[in-house]
Structure 1
Amino acid sequence: MSFSASVIDQRIRQALQGDSALANSWKRSLERYQIDPGLSTPPRVYSRGQLKDYQTPLEDLMHTAREGMNQLSRQVRDAGYVVLLTDPQGVTVDFVNNEAHDKELRHAGLYVGACWSEEVEGTCAVGVCSIERAPITVHHDEHFRSPNTTLTCSSAPVFGPGGDLLAVLDASALYSPHDKRSQHLVLQMVSQTARMVEDAYFLRQHRHHCVLYLSESRALLDVQVSLLMALDESGRVMAANSRARQCLGAHPDHPLAQALTCMGADISHVLGLDMPALVTQAHRAKGDAFEVRHVASARRYFAKLTHPTQPRVTRVLADHAQVASVGTDLQALHVLAGTDPLMMSNVLKAGRVMNKGISVLLHGETGTGKEMFAQAMHQCSARKDQAFVALNCAAIPESLIESELFGYADGAFTGARTKGVKGKIQQADGGTLFLDEIGDMPLALQTRLLRVLAEGEVMPLGAEVSAKVDVQVICASHRKLLSMVDEGHFRQDLYFRLSGIVIELPALRERQDLGALIEQVLHAQTRAQSRVFIPTITPEACDLLKHYAWPGNIRELKNVLRTAVALCERNLIEPRHLPRELQCGAGVPLLPPRLASGEPLASCAALSSQTASSMPESALPEKSAQLLAHLRQERWNVSEVARQLGVSRSTIYRRMAREGISAPI
């Protein structure tokens, strides 16, 4: 088909007065690409070999999109339409043919391999859609090149999980009514199919992540996919579909405006709930939708949180699902676990052995929350309505442990109470007995404890008749009990009786959810001091908190934040509100001997320059020099040094603090 110069001029004037997207496209076609609208050359079609280069990067998308394309074709085929899928450059990588018009479609370029970029064809639906990144219909003589003026084409973009343009979906027909309004429904169908393909691809690409489904309608959440966000185990937004980016964005001036486009943004910035809170909400909902609020707009949404469809190393929500399957409410343990992978694994283990009569041994450094974990296990167990009785074997004089543990009868010894006293074991009957620092229990009492565990009976001091007891025993120690067994300081048979399962609690510096834990403890300490507003931690102070070694673990973190909350002004926690050892940015507390004697501290820099770390080993006392040599040899890997020396990491950290040794920054 060809046109006279006057007809072409008339078409140009009409196009430039129409829709702004189309007008801009016509301008580009004329000025940038300098295409002749009257040119009647055939469409550009790539050979099979050339086409492969365009199809290969999109194979996964093409596989996902195929069923959607077939479904769209079944809806529009009888009206003479063909369905195309192009790459962002307009090259048709896949199509669903309409056999009734096969020859004409080939001739018109509505076929696989054809290029529909604006640079080649001028104004056309695929080309404009690729540039405008929005659905559009180009109808009849809105097309730039004269051979295309009988066509009607409706295109919609398909975006990737990160917001990048992956492809363009198009439905085109050779013949159609003159009125462009006849294409409105087709454009809606193409747009809807493109969103369906986009969401299916999103879910396929993020099948190994947690996915948050959101909808403004509770009733439609299960049947109509709306807003999707993929989250990693710590609650960072990995990706969001188009509607989530549109609906959950904020005003451009708002600090959260880029929350969904920035990799690593925390979900709490979008919905006001961090990952542990989301997991808890989902767990309570038991598969039903739960309510959330958008931070920026306060708009209400209904949500569901799904776990990965295949195993991952961290298995965050998969662990929650498995734990729930044992029929036990583990909410108290979930709160302690946060989103740390090892702690989540610990929750799963605890859920599996709970109520099975299996003894539990908790191992971890001082301050890692062993008693809190034991209490949480008790609260989640069938014994939660009975007593939880704790005894710290290291805090009671050896002479009193026996009576504390086993109790005594009337007149058992001079000064004994008239009616005797029930020991901790009997007090825990029906409930849970927690023995902290079990490694400090004297050998003689270990034998008696073993008998209680084996026979389920306790004999108080001075009693003639034993008493039946039913207790769940949970023990804890920061010491390596197997090493103590080898050294003859702990009974082997008792160890195997107590260690039905060993649960390792990670040190605070090893936890992957340290940032969330800091926030959690800060909230708790704020509430404890009856403050109305939660203080904000400055980036500098937050950096110090995250890079400190925390030899005292959670216990030390609580003390530090309790003091910081009390000291801070203007509701802002700054480095000056933190202890001196944190202000100095050291990995462990530093206090060189001469400063300990009272010499004033000039500055953090002065303190760092005076530490033993920077001194030659020959200038240090022998023991300090040996420790420093070990640390340097192992590149400051404290765990490895502790293993070589046969002591705990906390012992190494205490020695480092006492002798002024700090890891280089």
Structure 2
Amino acid sequence: MAHSGHRHHEETVAAALAGGEAARSAIVASWARSVNVHGLDPRRSPRDERIDQGAFRAVHQRMEPVTLAARPTLERLFHAVGGFGASVILASEEGIAVERLGKPSEDRDFAEVGLWTGTDWSEAAVGTNAIGTCLVERRPVVVNRDQHFLSLNIELTCVSAPVHDADGNLAAVLDVSTVRRDLAEGFAGLISHSVTEAARKIEADLFLARHPRARMVLVPGTERGLGALLAVNADELVIGATRAARQHLGLAGDLARDPVPLADLLGLDSHLRPEDGERAVIARAIARARGNLSAASRALGISRATLHRKIGRPGSGTGSGGRI
């Protein structure tokens, strides 16, 4: 970008802030935070924002559960967008890029703008950008070229979406960025949905890893795909919920410690008396035995006559096995 382009950007930022446009534009509001909260200047080069190796190792180790769960999705996303001259970044909740996928032929371009592992892309470090602004606003963000705060970043077009852990807390940011001018205008609209859906897939994988033995229930009445999940134990109690499920159902707190009946959450019929629960156990055993009462009674550890009595059917206690 020529210096005249930088000057034009800097004048645009100054005019927008002077004109009080922050109340009407999320981008200008982020520019205002960059100036008033973080003391940044669009004319200045960012300070060296790559953290030292020891600090990066500590962040990477802490993020390992997220990066391991995210890796297959990162690779699928890069396979889809890599041909657009894009790189895929997974950043920590502080804005540190911890994983990056990109073509070797384009590494130099991204290294020059600092989109590299170990680099701090928080708003406090580099002003308005998709990763940092996503962290502040806790929502998917698109930042096209001169919407960035620093003049040196206006070559970039970036799309980011937040990633939440199994407890619904912000854990990472998924970002796709390109430096290609010829694709920048339509690039964000083309892939923004894909980035958000990929972030939800990572959230679902993190959730499944947290609750490997639970039954997964997709919350009805949402358009969030895999995002709105409940983890349900053998007692039909909800012991976990993704952020999307928590938001939709108004859930809060530690569900593993204070579980909630699934039926109560979803408005389903449920067993209210102990004998109802016993009948449910018996019904499942008979279903598993495909109606064979002898097999079902053995599975339940009771006699066939007792089983007949509990289900309210007369039984002779003789015969070769019988089926309902």
Scaled by the length of structure 1, the TM-score of the pair is 0.41
For 1:60-75, list aligned pairs within 5 A: 60-75=65-80
Contact 1:92 1:115 in 2 (8 A): yes
**Quick one: which of 166, 171, 187 aligns to 1:161?**
166
Deviations 1:236-289 (CA, angstroms, capped at 9, x unpaired):
43322233234x33xxxxxxxx33556333333321237759xxxxxxxxxxxx
Aligned partner of 2:35 in structure 1 is 30
* Whole-angstrom CA distance in 2 between matches of 1:44 and 1:133: 22
Give the AA of the match of 2:251: A
1:57/1:349 CA distance change after superposition, 3 Å: farther
Change (3 A) 1:74 1:116: same
Shift in alpha-carbon separation, 1:329–1:100, aligned structure 2, 3 A:
farther
Superposed CA offset, 1:212-242 (max 9, x none): 124459xx99xx6353111344444332223
Partner of 2:206: 201
Query: Does 2:314 correspond to 1:386?
Result: yes
Is residue 121 of structure 2 the alignment partner of residue 116 of structure 1? yes
Distance 1:157 1:320 in 2: 43
Matched residue, 2:262: 267
Give the equivalent residue in structure 1 for 2:289: 326
Query: Aligned residue for 2:278?
Result: none
- Relative to structure 1, the CA distance from residue 359 to residue 275 in structure 2 (aligned partners, 3 Å threshold; closer, same or farther) is closer
Distance 2:29 2:56 in 1: 29
Contact 2:178–2:184 (CA under 8 A) maintained in structure 1: no
Taking structure 1 as reference, are residues 178 and 81 closer, same or farther at Cα in structure 2, changes over 3 Å only?
Answer: closer
Distance in 1, Cα, partners of 2:207 & 2:93: 18
Q: How does 1:538-617 map to 2 (within 5 A)?
A: none
Partner of 1:17: 21
Q: CA deviation at 1:386?
A: 3.2
Whole-Å separation in 2 of the counterparts to 1:268 and 1:202: 21
Partners in 1 of 2:288 and 2:320 — Cα distance? 25
Match for residue 82 of structure 1 among 87, 91, 98: 87
Cα distance in 1 between the residues matched to 2:86 and 2:309? 64
**Identity, % of aligned positions:** 27
The 10-residue stretch of structure 1 (33-42 or 5-14) with the greater mean CA deviation from structure 2: 5-14
8 Å Cα contact 1:22/1:142 also seen in 2 = yes
Tell me by how many angstroms 1:103 deviates: 1.3
CA contact (8 A) 1:215 1:226 kept: no
Contact 2:13 2:31 in 1 (8 A): no
Paired amino acid for 2:43: G
| Counterpart-to-counterpart distance in 2, 1:323 and 1:91 | 55
Please state whether the residue corresponding to 1:110 is helix, strand or coil.
coil
| Structure 2 residue aligned with 1:228 | 229
Superposed CA deviations along residues 582-620 of structure 1, whole A, max 9, x for unmatched, are xxxxxxxxxxxxxxxxxxxxxxxxxxxxxxxxxxxxxxx
Compared with structure 1, are the counterparts of its residues 212 and 27 closer, same or farther at alpha carbon in structure 2 (3 Å cutoff)? same
Q: Deviations over 1:387-413 (max 9, x none)?
A: 4xxxxxxxxxxxxxxxxxxxxxxxxxx
- Secondary structure at 2:239's aligned position in 1? strand
| Equivalent residue runs for 1:104-143 within 5 Å | 104-143=109-148
* Inter-partner Cα distance in structure 1 for 2:49 and 2:9: 25
RMSD (Å), alpha carbons: 3.6
Count of paired positions:
305
Q: Which amino acid aligns with 1:10?
A: T
Deviations 1:152-176 (Å, cap 9, x if unpaired)? 1100001112211010000011123
Question: What is the CA distance between 1:29 and its match in structure 2?
Answer: 0.7
The answer to whether the 8 A contact 1:116-1:124 is kept is: yes
Q: How big is the shift at 1:51? A: 0.9
Residue 308 of structure 2 aligns with an amino acid whose one-letter code is H
Given the alignment, which residue of 47, 60, 64 partners 1:59?
64
CA separation of 1:226/1:52 partners in 2, compared to 1, >3 Å: closer, same or farther?
A: closer
Paired amino acid for 2:49:
R
Distance 1:102 1:139, change over 3 A: same
Q: Secondary structure at the match of 1:225?
A: helix
1:542-561: per-residue Cα shift (whole Å, max 9, x none)? xxxxxxxxxxxxxxxxxxxx
Superposed counterparts of 1:272-287, under 5 Å:
272-273=267-268
Cα drift, residue 144 of structure 1: 0.8
The 3-state SS of whatever aligns with 1:169 is strand
**2:30 and 2:128 in contact (8 A); partners too:** yes
The aligned counterpart of 1:8 is 10
- 1:479-520 deviation digits (Å, cap 9, x = unpaired): xxxxxxxxxxxxxxxxxxxxxxxxxxxxxxxxxxxxxxxxxx
> What's the offset of the Cα at 1:323?
7.3
More deviation, 233-242/72-81: 233-242
Q: Secondary structure at the match of 2:226?
A: coil
- Is contact 2:160-2:174 (8 Å) kept? yes
Q: Structure 1 residues 240, 359: closer, same or farther in 2, change over 3 A? A: closer
TM-score of the two chains, using structure 2 as the length reference: 0.80
Change (3 A) 1:6 1:151: closer
1:94 CA drift (Å)? 0.8
Q: In structure 2, how many angstroms separate the alpha carbons of the residues matched to 1:7 and 1:191?
A: 29
Structure 1 pair 134/323, CA: closer, same or farther in 2 (3 Å)? farther
Asked if the contact 1:158/1:194 (under 8 Å) is kept, the reply is yes
CA 1:60 to 1:181, structure 2 compared with 1: closer, same or farther past 3 Å? same
User: For residues 175-194 of structure 1, what are the structure 2 equivalents within 5 Å?
Assistant: 175-177=180-182, 180-194=185-199
Structure 1: how far apart are the matches of 2:170 and 2:59? Answer: 15
Shift of 1:107: 1.6
Task: Please report how far the alpha carbon of residue 56 of structure 1 lies from its aligned counterpart in structure 2 after TM superposition.
Answer: 1.3
Distance (whole Å) between structure 1 residues aligned to residue 8 and residue 227 of structure 2: 49
CA separation in 2, counterparts of 1:129 and 1:62?
Answer: 19
Check the 8 A contact 2:9/2:146 in 1, yes or no: no
Q: What are structure 2's unaligned runs of at least 5 residues?
A: 273-280
Structure 1 residues 328 and 227, CA, compared in 2 at 3 Å: closer, same or farther?
farther
Tell me the SS of whatever aligns to 2:128: coil
- Report if the CA contact (8 A) 1:235-1:274 is conserved: no
| Structure 1 residues 125 and 275, CA gap change in structure 2 (3 angstroms) | farther
Distance 1:321 1:142 in 2: 59
Extract unaligned runs of 5+ from structure 1. Answer: 250-257, 278-316, 331-347, 361-373, 388-429, 432-468, 473-665
The one-letter code of the counterpart of 1:186 is I
Q: 1:232 to 1:13 in 2, by over 3 A?
A: farther
Partner of 1:44: 49
